[in-house]
C-alpha cells in the first residue's frame, strides 16, 4: 500500500487563509458588478501585464513585486496609502501561489521560515496601521533606497569573489524580518529587497532564501492587508483584480526559475536588480 504524502502545516495554513480572502473578494466583486462600479477597460489589461511581470521577477529573484506595482500605481495618480493597500491585497493571491510553488520545488528552509515569519507579520501589521492612519510613507523612502543601493552592490561583490566556507548567520533574522515587514507596509514594497538581500549577504543559499522569503511573504502580506481593509476598506477593485490575474499566472513560473538557476548567477541578478530599482527610486524622488 502506498504511503500518502502528508500536507505540510504551512501549506494547510496558506490554503485556509486563501479560501477566506477569496470568499471575501468574490463577495466584493459581486457587489461591484451589480452596482457597475468596476471597469474592465484597456487600463485593466495594463494592470494584468504589470502583475504578470512583477510576480515573474519576484518569484525568480525574491523581490520587486511591491516596488514595481506601487511605482506604476503612483504614476497613475493613486495616493500612496491606497496604492500600498491595493498592492498588498493583490499580493495575498500572488504570494500564496508563489509560496506553494516554492514548497513544491523544495525551495523552503523551514528553520529560517519560522525565524522570520512571526516578526515579519508583526512589523507589517504595525507598518500598515501607521501608513493607513498616521504616517506619510514617502518620508522614509529615500533613506531605504539609499541603503539598498549599497546593499545590492555588496551582493554582486560577494557573488563574484572567492566563496567563503563561513556558516550562514541567522541570529538577527527575526529583527531583520520585523524591519522588512514594517518598511514593506509603509513603502508599498521592500520585504524582498530588505530581507532577501540581507540574508544572501550573510551567506544563505540563494534558492532556499528566495523560496523561504517568498513563502513567508504570504503571511506578512496577509496580515498587513487585514489592517488596511479594516481601516481603509477595499478600493480600486479593478486594479487589485488585474494584478491578481497577472501575478497568479506567472507565480509558478518564477518559482521554477528560482529552482533551476545557478546560485551564483541568481545572487548577481538579485544584487543588480536591487541597485537598479533603488537607484531609479532615488532619481524619481530627486526629480519631483
Which is more confident, 78 or 280? 280
Please spell the DSSP secondary structure of 147-181, one letter per residue.
Answer: HHHHHHHHHHHHHHSPPP-PPPP-TTHHHHHHHHH
How many independent structural domains does the chain possess?
A: 1
> Looking at residue 5, what DSSP letter applies?
P
SS (H, E, C) 76-105: CCCCHHHHHHHHHHHHHHHHHHHHHHHHHC
Does residue 219 lie within any of the structural domains?
yes
pLDDT digits (tens, 9 = 90+) for 186-218: 766 678 778 887 888 777 788 888 889 989 988
Q: What percent of the chain has pLDDT over 90?
A: 7
pTM equals: 0.73
4, pLDDT greater than 60: no
- Of residues 67 and 105, the one with the higher pLDDT is 105
pLDDT score for 103: 87
Judge whether 9 lies within some domain: no
- Residue 11 belongs to some domain of the structure: no
Q: Is residue 13 included in any domain, yes or no?
A: no
Model confidence at 185, in pLDDT bands (50, 70, 90)? confident
**pLDDT at residue 164, rounded to an integer:** 55
pLDDT at position 1 over 50: no
C-alpha cell read off for 209: 532564501
Contact 68, 91 (CB under 8 A): no
Average pLDDT for residues 165-174, to the nearest whole number?
68
Query: What is the average pLDDT across 79-99?
Result: 78
In a domain, 167, yes or no: yes
**Cα distance between residue 133 and residue 99, in whole Å:** 30
Confidence of residue 170 (pLDDT cuts 50, 70, 90): low
Is residue 51, in this structure, part of any structural domain at all? Answer: yes
Assess if residue 2 is contained within a domain: no
Per-residue pLDDT tens over the stretch 210-266: 889 989 988 998 898 888 888 877 767 888 888 888 888 887 887 777 777 776 776
145 has a pLDDT exceeding 60: yes
22 occurs within a structural domain = no
Looking at the predicted structure, is the pLDDT value of residue 77 above 70?
Answer: no
Quick: pLDDT tens for 10-49.
Answer: 888 888 988 888 888 888 888 877 777 677 777 788 788 8
Q: Name the residue range of residue 126's domain.
A: 40-286
Amino acid at each position: 500500500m502506498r504511503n500518502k504524502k502528508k500536507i505540510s502545516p504551512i501549506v494547510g495554513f496558506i490554503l485556509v487563509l486563501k479560501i477566506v480572502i477569496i470568499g471575501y473578494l468574490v463577495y466584493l466583486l459581486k457587489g461591484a458588478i451589480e452596482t457597475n462600479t468596476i471597469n474592465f477597460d484597456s487600463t485593466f489589461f495594463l494592470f494584468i501585464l504589470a502583475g504578470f511581470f512583477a510576480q515573474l521577477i519576484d518569484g525568480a529573484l525574491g523581490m520587486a513585486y511591491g516596488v514595481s506595482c506601487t511605482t506604476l500605481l503612483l504614476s497613475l495618480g493613486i495616493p500612496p496609502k491606497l496604492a500600498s493597500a491595493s498592492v498588498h491585497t493583490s499580493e495575498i493571491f500572488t504570494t500564496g501561489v508563489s509560496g506553494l510553488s516554492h514548497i513544491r520545488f523544495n525551495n523552503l528552509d523551514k528553520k529560517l521560515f519560522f525565524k522570520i515569519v512571526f516578526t515579519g507579520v508583526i512589523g507589517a501589521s504595525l507598518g500598515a496601521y501607521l501608513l493607513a492612519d498616521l504616517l506619510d510613507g514617502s518620508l522614509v523612502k529615500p533613506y531605504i533606497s539609499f541603503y539598498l543601493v549599497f546593499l545590492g552592490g555588496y551582493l554582486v561583490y560577494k557573488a563574484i569573489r572567492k566563496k567563503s566556507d563561513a556558516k550562514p548567520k541567522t541570529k538577527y533574522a527575526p529583527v531583520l524580518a520585523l524591519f522588512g515587514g514594517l518598511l514593506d507596509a509603509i513603502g508599498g514594497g521592500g520585504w524582498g529587497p530588505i530581507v532577501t538581500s540581507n540574508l544572501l549577504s550573510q551567506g544563505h543559499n540563494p534558492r532556499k532564501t528566495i523560496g523561504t522569503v517568498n513563502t513567508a511573504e504570504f503571511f506578512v502580506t496577509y496580515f498587513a492587508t487585514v489592517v488596511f481593509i479594516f481601516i481603509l476598506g477595499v478600493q480600486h477593485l479593478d486594479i487589485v483584480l488585474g494584478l491578481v490575474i497577472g501575478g497568479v499566472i506567472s507565480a509558478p513560473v518564477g518559482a521554477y526559475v528560482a529552482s533551476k538557476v545557478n546560485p551564483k548567477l541568481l545572487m548577481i541578478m538579485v544584487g543588480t536588480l536591487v541597485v537598479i530599482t533603488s537607484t531609479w527610486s532615488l532619481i524619481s524622488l530627486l526629480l519631483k
